[in-house]
């Protein structure tokens, strides 16, 4: 089914950031946003593109108290021909469905989701940046906006999409790879079996902020979580999934515990490594094994993967306050090759040999 949505254009277009090499992450927002309502009995209705501006919310709105909400993260890229393209939007739709199911948010049909993404990007297409390392970050989100203090799913929801021209999440400058330091968190936990770890819901991130702040005290950019049951096995990083290259095997945490976010970049990394004949395993990996590998010179690379993080190499893990160096602490060859191929396909400078690109 084809969907078209009415557009109300802003009367006050904003100046676009001039220097695309200093966009940072989600510091600027475009002129328009998408909004759609859900009412019990009526379903999703009244999708529309409107000016991006603050909106009123009732203080008793349930989401402000109980966090019944979800979000997705995706990007639109400028290709060398000047066109704009998405990366694996079907994966965002599939993950949204799983998150909604877990959070008791009504199902939003995938074709409405994609039509809405396309409609709002179309309005702000000139905002898609083209400088190396940049993209238009797309943030779809849904929240229960019923006025209610019952700890029960809302009967009204809003689905919105906002857009932000964006550079690198972690690196000091957009456009190139550099290594960061990550703090291994052994006090707080992110997710336990049966919880919401696999879902992209706000609470997972709000609950992690204490640990991220603590990490910054150690000059670390973010936190690497350990499992809740034994505080022993690596899970994921605050914003992204984590990969470890030890003795030529690339290892990432398995999804079966339900505590790991099934990242679209994570899935793409696994597929690329398999295609290139690099050994890749989804298995439990203890922090002790990693520290030992660093001591023995076998810890070759660690990197984060995510839509915002893309591929972010890690040069040091901070374990109980001590630095554990990764390889020579510089950007490793596997991380660099992954970045070049993924970002190259996303921006159309590398052939889409995996069939992952969706042209707008």
Residue 334: how many CA atoms within 13 Å on its side-chain side? Answer: 28
Angle between helices 89-103 and 110-123 (to 10 degrees): 120
Beta strands at 180-185 and 310-319: parallel, antiparallel or unpaired: parallel
Minimum Å distance from CB 238 to ligand COI? 7
Q: Residue 313 and residue 331: Cα distance in Å, rounded?
A: 6
Q: How far is the CB of 205 from ligand COI (least distance, A)?
A: 6
Q: Which is nearer to ligand COI, 50 or 335 (CB)?
A: 335
CA distance 290 to 334: 18
Q: Give whichever of 171 and 308 is closer to ligand COI, judged by the CB atom.
A: 308
Tokens standing for 153? 């799913």
Closest approach, Cβ 186 to ligand COI, in A, equals 22
* Residues β-bridged to residue 163: 138
Please list, in sequence order, all residues whose beta carbon lies within 8 angstroms of the beta carbon of residue 203, skipping any fewer than 6 positions away.
67, 196
Q: Give the contacts of 30 (CB within 8 A, at least 6 positions apart).
A: 14, 52, 124, 127, 136, 162, 163, 164, 165
Strands 69-71 and 74-78: unpaired
Q: Which is nearer to ligand COI, 92 or 148 (CB)?
A: 92
- Work out how close the CB of 308 gets to ligand COI at its nearest, in angstroms, rounded to a whole number: 3
* Cα–Cα distance measured from residue 246 to residue 334, given in angstroms and rounded to the nearest whole number: 12
- Chain residues binding ligand COI by CB under 6 A are 73, 205, 239, 306-308
CB of 200 to ligand COI, least distance (A): 7
Nearer to ligand COI, 106 or 306 (CB): 306
| Minimum distance from residue 11 beta carbon to ligand COI (Å) | 31
Which residue number, 73 or 195, has a Cβ lying nearer to ligand COI?
Answer: 73
Number of residue whose CB is nearest ligand COI: 73
User: Cα separation of 279 and 252, whole Å?
Assistant: 11
CB of 114 to ligand COI, least distance (A): 17
Q: Which is nearer to ligand COI, 204 or 347 (CB)?
A: 204
> Minimum Å distance from CB 135 to ligand COI?
11
Question: Closest CB to ligand COI among 227 and 236?
Answer: 236
Cβ within 8 Å of residue 298, ≥6 positions away: 246, 247
Give the Cα separation of 262 and 269 in Å (integer). Answer: 12
Within 28-169, residue ranges assigned H as helices are: 63-66, 89-103, 110-123
Nearer to ligand COI, 237 or 334 (CB): 237
Q: Classify 329 in phi/psi space as left (phi over 0), alpha (psi -120 to 50) or beta.
A: left
């Amino acid at each position: 089914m084809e969907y078209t949505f009415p557009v109300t254009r802003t009367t006050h277009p904003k100046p676009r950031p001039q220097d695309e090499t200093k966009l940072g992450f989600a510091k600027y927002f475009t002129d328009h946003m998408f909004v759609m309502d859900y009412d019990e009995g009526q379903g999703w209705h009244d999708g529309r593109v409107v000016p991006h501006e603050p909106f009123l919310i009732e203080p008793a709105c349930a989401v402000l108290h109980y966090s019944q909400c979800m979000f997705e993260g995706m990007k639109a890229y400028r290709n060398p021909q000047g066109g704009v393209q998405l990366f694996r939007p079907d994966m965002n739709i599939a993950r949204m469905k799983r998150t909604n199911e877990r959070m008791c948010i009504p199902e939003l049909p995938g074709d409405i989701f994609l039509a809405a993404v396309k409609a709002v990007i179309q309005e702000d297409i000139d905002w898609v940046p083209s400088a190396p390392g940049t993209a238009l970050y797309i943030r779809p989100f849904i929240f229960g906006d019923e006025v209610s203090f019952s700890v029960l799913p809302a009967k009204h929801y809003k689905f919105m999409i906002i857009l932000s021209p964006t550079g690198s999440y972690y690196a000091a400058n957009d456009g190139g790879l550099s290594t960061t330091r990550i703090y291994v968190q052994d006090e707080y936990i992110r997710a336990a079996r049966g919880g919401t770890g696999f879902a992209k819901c706000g609470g997972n991130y709000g609950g992690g902020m204490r640990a991220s702040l603590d990490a910054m005290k150690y000059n670390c950019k973010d936190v690497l979580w350990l499992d809740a049951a034994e505080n022993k096995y690596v899970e994921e990083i605050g914003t992204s999934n984590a990969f470890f290259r030890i003795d030529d095997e690339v290892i990432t945490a398995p999804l079966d515990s339900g505590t790991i976010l099934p990242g679209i970049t994570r899935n793409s990394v696994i597929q690329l490594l398999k295609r290139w004949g690099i050994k890749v395993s989804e298995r439990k990996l203890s922090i002790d094994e990693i520290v030992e590998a660093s001591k023995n010179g076998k810890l070759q690379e660690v990197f984060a993967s995510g839509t915002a993080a893309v591929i972010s190499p890690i040069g040091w893990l901070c374990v109980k306050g001590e630095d554990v160096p990764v390889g020579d602490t510089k950007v490793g060859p596997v991380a660099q090759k992954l970045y070049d191929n993924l970002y190259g396909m996303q921006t159309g400078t590398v052939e889409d040999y995996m069939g992952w690109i969706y042209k707008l």
